Chain A
Amino acid sequence: MTSTPFIIGMRDAFFDALYEIARTDRNVIIISADNGAPSLDKFAQTLPNQYFTVGIAEQQMIGMAAGMAFEGKKVYTYAIAPFITTRVLEQQKLDVCSMNLPIVNLGIGAGYAYDIMGPSHHTVEDISIMRALPGMKIYCPADAICSRALVDLSYADPSPQYIRFDRAGIPNIYAGRPVDFTPGLVKTREGRDMYIVATGIMVHQALKVSDELKRDGLEVGVIDVCRIKPFPVEWLFEYLEEVPWVVTLEEHLLAGGLGGIVAEIFVDSGVTTPLLRIGQEDRFVFTYGGRSVIWKKYGLDVPSVVEKIQTWMSSRSGGVEFAKRAAVR
């Protein structure tokens, strides 16, 4: 994948559906910190009392959202992901979470979606940081179908929420099949030998990795965690009980991210299934040329992930052969 074009995707699917709700519920408010979207224009044009832009002033955006939510409004805030999370962490902590206000934060460009923009626009620490805020729910859709479903879920739920969207038009995984996103987790592909637990863009990568590992004779399933907090623990257990190997894959720092969450759950629950966490190490990325270049350099492209998994399996209990036998048992 090269630097991605700005085309209709999960964000616009979200705003299009939200617009239909906002037309009938005047308490639905959107506040943008100077961040546009084709699908937002109609809010500004037809619902001027429900759409506000505060300029490049994210602290003001969250504070104003809190004031409006306090008065009974359902407020959606919108900015590039780093600026709606780490830039305004204290507002999220105090104004939003400590007062448990119905604010849905829409962050665009999770992970390395803003690839060539550099570390200012990379958002690879938001899961670990936002999940530390009591009461904050976190969603991460893998495609526009899930994104569309999150409109209804977010509207019905008065909790503080953070939805981390990818930036570009990501292909739809769930087109043409009925999927229930309410559990917060989707078994995207059935597995027998291993499950890759992934979120967002990495669900797509996981499916490709699964295709590759099939050549080794492995049936690798994929689990899409679209609700990271509260983590759908029971569902995870139900699926993971079936396999002898578990891998987590995220375009996020390993510190406190998806893999960290799964590891915590395993330890807390006494699960001893071998777990490999694949994500970004403790570093900033000043690498340009596109997302695929970053992935390749830091081991998140498909060949690197496949190799990591193969190496890991080989180093444990007889490796791939063991996995095959274990699956047969």
Chain B
Amino acid sequence: MRGQSTGDLAAIAKWVRLKVVDMAVKANSGHISTAFSQTEILVSLYFGGILRYDPMNPRWEGRDRFIQSKGQGGIGLYPVLARAGFFPLDVLEGFAQEGNMLGVHTDWHIPGIEVVTGSLGHGLPIATGMAQAALNDHKKHLIFVLLGDAELYEGSNWEAALMAAHKGYSNLICMVDRNGQGTIGYTDRIEGQNDGPRLNPLDRKFEAFGFETRVIDGHDFGQIFEALKDVRARPLAAGRPLMIIANTRKGKGCSLMEDERFWHYRVPAGADLESVRRDLRP
């Protein structure tokens, strides 16, 4: 961890969540709960001294590449990028509105965003290409990919996982936001017709592919940093990609939304909105 204390980071996470709610309400566009499950991960990467980046020069050659493969989490990434200095904070106010560069899904026109995502299962294959290119060019930067767990239903991820393990891309750091939900169903809590096929045992699946796998609480800064502390030192030694499965909760931070499927794309109003804001008060 560099610069910020865990308390500082927790405050930033709260600020990010509040921004997400404001943006969602203003644009009447949801994906709040999926933005909340990834918040601590993003805050750690950008403000905990993990990612190397230069907001004044977003395409700086030496930067780490970060791919928001779960593109629907864009609303949660934008406040992080703005606070990191990639673009002015007031750009957030116009999220998804006419004349604004920020759409619901991340795209490469936005400073700080590398590639277009939104359709799932694209980030990891692209990341393998970036990892190979870095090896070809003897470059030391890392490639980070944030995946949703329900995104892993897309078969392209497993094609990429085969290749990443086969080539031993130790410069590839994958993180799964393991919130246990897709749009309408749970991934591993089989309660009804809408619940998808089981992903578990997810860690052992990636282990079997040839990844080094670490399972953490994705809302615990201490565990996140512990899982990431050697990412820059391990590449040469590891000889295999890293998969961090971060167990999270959709809607984390708001009692109303936490782990509730109902809130995947819903925008709170009235008393619900009051409740959400109360939970996120600094």
Contact = CB atoms under 8 A, between A and B. Distances in A.
A69 B115 CA distance: 12
A73 interface: yes
Interface in B115-142: 115-116, 118-119, 121-122, 124-134, 136-137
B115 A64 contact: no
B130 A95 contact: no
A50 B133 CA distance: 10
B156 interface: yes
B121 A64 contact: no
Contacts of A65: 129
Given A59-B155, A60-B156, A67 B122 contact: no
Given A90-B119, A95-B122, A68 B159 contact: no
A269 to B, nearest CB: 34
A26 B128 CA distance: 18
A67 B134 CA distance: 10
A67 B126 contact: yes
A63 B129 contact: yes
A317 to B, nearest CB: 51
B133 A67 contact: yes
B160 A26 contact: no
Interface residues of B, number: 28
Contact of B133 (A55, A62, A68, A98): A68
B116 A67 contact: no
Q: Taking chain A's interface residues, is the majority helix, strand, or loop, or is none over half, making it mixed?
A: helix
Contacts of A67: 125-133
B258 interface: no
A64 B160 CA distance: 8
A94 B126 CA distance: 11
A54 interface: yes
Contact of B115 (A26, A49, A70, A90): A70
A54 B159 CA distance: 8
Given A70-B114, A71-B130, A49 B125 contact: no
A52 B114 CA distance: 23
B163 interface: yes
A63 B122 contact: yes
Contacts of B110: none
Contacts of B137: 71
B159 A60 contact: yes
B134 A71 contact: yes
A99 interface: yes
Given A62-B125, A67-B131, A67-B133, A99 B116 contact: yes
Contacts of B136: 26, 49-50, 73
A248 interface: no
Contacts of B162: 55, 57, 60
Interface string A208-252: 000000000000000000000000000000000000000000000
A59 B116 contact: no
A261 interface: no
B159 A57 contact: yes
Nearest to A66: B126
B67 to A, nearest CB: 9
B128 A63 contact: yes
A57 B162 CA distance: 10
A94 B122 contact: yes
A111 B159 CA distance: 28
A54 B136 CA distance: 17
A24 to B, nearest CB: 16
Nearest to B127: A67
B159 A72 contact: no
Given A60-B163, A94-B119, A70 B156 contact: no
Contacts of A68: 129-130, 132-133
A91 B122 CA distance: 8
Contacts of A64: 125-126, 128-129, 132, 160, 163
Contacts of B134: 71
Given A60-B156, A64-B132, A71-B134, A54 B163 contact: yes
A95 B131 CA distance: 16
A64 B135 CA distance: 13
Contacts of B125: 59-60, 62-64, 66-67, 91, 95
A304 to B, nearest CB: 42
Closest 5 CB pairs of A and B: A67-B129, A63-B125, A71-B133, A60-B159, A57-B159
17 contacts: A49-B136, A54-B163, A59-B156, A60-B156, A63-B124, A63-B125, A67-B125, A67-B128, A67-B133, A68-B129, A68-B133, A71-B129, A73-B136, A90-B122, A95-B116, A95-B125, A99-B108
Interface of B: 107-108, 114-116, 118-119, 121-122, 124-134, 136-137, 155-156, 159-160, 162-163
Given A68-B132, A91-B122, 19 more contacts: A49-B136, A60-B128, A60-B156, A64-B128, A64-B129, A64-B132, A64-B160, A64-B163, A66-B115, A67-B131, A67-B132, A67-B133, A70-B115, A71-B129, A90-B119, A90-B122, A94-B118, A95-B122, A95-B125
